[in-house]
Structure 1
Amino acid sequence: MRCTTRLAPDRLDSSAEFTAFESSLEDEGAVVTFVGVARSKSASGGKVSNLFLEHHPRMTEASLMEIAEDAGRRFNISAIRVVHRCGDIAPGEAIVLVATAALHRRAAFEAAEYAMDRLKTDAVFWKREDAVDGSRWIEPTSSDHDDRARWSE
């Protein structure tokens, strides 16, 4: 299985990332991509001017690789790419790209969904929303943890 992960301190070009992923494929019949985008409103409805993702380079990179490799072991996929932003992210910018490839669609879909559920709860990031009325650190929600728990064995 081909596994690629990367931290992106600058704007994430999801089209270029997908093209690079697709060009590495051989004879897969299914390719799934997911792109997460920074929202302009907080969970409480306030206007968000910026999202800041603090990270520890070695720990964060290791957590991304662990999640991607786990998805590869768990599902019958041939390739996975995870690219995750760090630093300042403006509303509307891509935060994360997950791309998976497999012979059949179900494995590709499940691997991408599993990777995203793990990224939301297990990736080593500290997230801060900046708004006109102040800044606040945010944690994974209870529904994020519920999504992650459904993959437990």
Structure 2
Amino acid sequence: MNVRADVAELLRAGLSDRAIGRELGVDPIATVRPARQALGIPKSKPGRRPTATPEDLFWRRVKPTDDDHMEWTGHHGAEGTPLLRHGGVLHTGYRLAFRIANGRDPDGYALPSCGREHCVKPGHHGDRADRAREKRVDALYADIFGPSA
């Protein structure tokens, strides 16, 4: 059986089938229970468990690359955008990486600014304000030195 990585991760964290179903928006009986059996993980013990934050889950879904970037090992959207669902809210890996690096949510979209497509390393993202500042710097440079070749 092919087990979804996000389901396996939450099973290993000790969440119940129903909790995983709510968290990921999947059927606990048709999706989670067979995954639990395939992985040989016993039923969870009753009671509430501390929930991981989106930032905690972010770190479980990234891996460093050889060229000082990070790639997303979790779920991707249609255009390759790294996605994470927490508490019924969909987060992008870019937004979480920006929040981790800057201690605040981005103004508008957070997008990789390091030149590597789909990079999720914290510190490698810019928001609307960063992109506007970069345009002003580029325009100032062009005014001083002329258009670049």
Output the TM-score relative to the length of structure 1. 0.29
Say which structure, 1 or 2, has more relative contact order (CA 8 Å, 6+ apart): 1
Which structure shows the bigger proportion of residues in strand conformation? Answer: 1
Output the TM-score relative to the length of structure 2. 0.29
